[in-house]
Amino acid sequence: MTTSKMSHRLAAEFIGTFWLVLGGCGSAVFAAKFVSGGFSVGIGFLGVALAFGLTVLTGVYAFGTISGGHFNPAVTLGAALARRVEWAALVPYWISQVLGGLLAGLVIYVIASGKEGWNATGNMAANGFGEHSPGGYSLTAVLLAEVILTAVFLLVILGSTDDRAPKGFAGLAIGLTLTLIHLVAIPISNTSVNPARSTAVAFFNGDGAPAQLWAFWLAPLVGAAVAGLAYPLLFGVAGELAERPVRDDALDQPDGR
């Protein structure tokens, strides 16, 4: 068994998070409400939800054997608490994830600015509560939804990447779960469950998003922590922590989304 260098793992997390934000938030910015010839041909909530799920699915299969395919600070925290990744990786992973997301946010901003009359304020797929929630949901409702959905997301991740799980299906389970989460939560909070995704577009979006960003760090981290602590207690563990997130034969066993 070989060990991936930390530089390789951080590169995988950077690129994977970049792809997640570019594909997910980019679909929301460019394609969700597209009008052509007087007809709406936009992809809507369903299309955006699928875009997020597909970016994670493809990213997990591409980079899962290198870094675990987290692309999300909440996933890294949950994986560390569940003893799926070493604690020393937590802060470096977080930094790579946030920087990858911010680069994607910048790319979306630059491309979208090429459309005459487009304004970034309120149009960068930012997360929000209250008046900044797509459906006008309160802070309490948004926090509750984000905590529960992130916890469920982590339970699926930990379960599908468990040594005891069927091999070859983790990426599908993780991608489809994120799709379903978005179908539930886009009207509530524009769906975060990922602090790096929220940070990536908040400052370009403005319009209250930076001031509300704390909620989209707090809630996903709390949900992930609950799941990371609960999974071994509920279901036991199949083995001890290795020196790397995944085994050599684990293309289908990424540790994260």
Residue 166 DSSP symbol? P
How many CB atoms are located within 10 Å of the residue 68 CB?
32
DSSP sequence for 128-163: -SGGGSTT---HHHHHHHHHHHHHHHHHHHHHHTST
The pLDDT assigned to 254 comes to 46
DSSP sequence for 49-107: HHHHHHHHHHHHHHHHHHH-S--SHHHHHHHHHTTSS-GGGHHHHHHHHHHHHHHHHHH
Q: What is the pLDDT along the chain (257 residues), one digit of tens a residue?
A: 346 799 999 999 999 999 999 999 999 999 998 877 777 879 999 999 999 999 999 999 999 999 999 999 999 999 999 999 999 999 999 999 999 999 999 999 999 999 999 999 999 999 999 999 999 999 999 999 999 999 999 999 999 999 999 999 999 999 999 999 999 999 999 999 999 999 999 999 999 999 999 999 999 999 999 999 999 999 987 554 433 444 434 444 444 44
6-235: CATH, from 3.40.50.720, 1.20.1080.10, 1.10.10.10, 1.10.132.20:
1.20.1080.10
Q: Which residues contact 216 (CB under 8 A, 6 or more apart)?
A: 127, 146, 189, 192, 195, 198
How many CB atoms are located within 10 Å of the residue 218 CB?
14
Helix (H, G, I), strand (E, B) or coil at 227: helix
The pLDDT assigned to 4 comes to 76
Say if residues 101 and 22 touch (Cβ distance below 8 Å). no
Domain ranges of the chain: 6-235
> What's at 189, amino acid-wise?
S
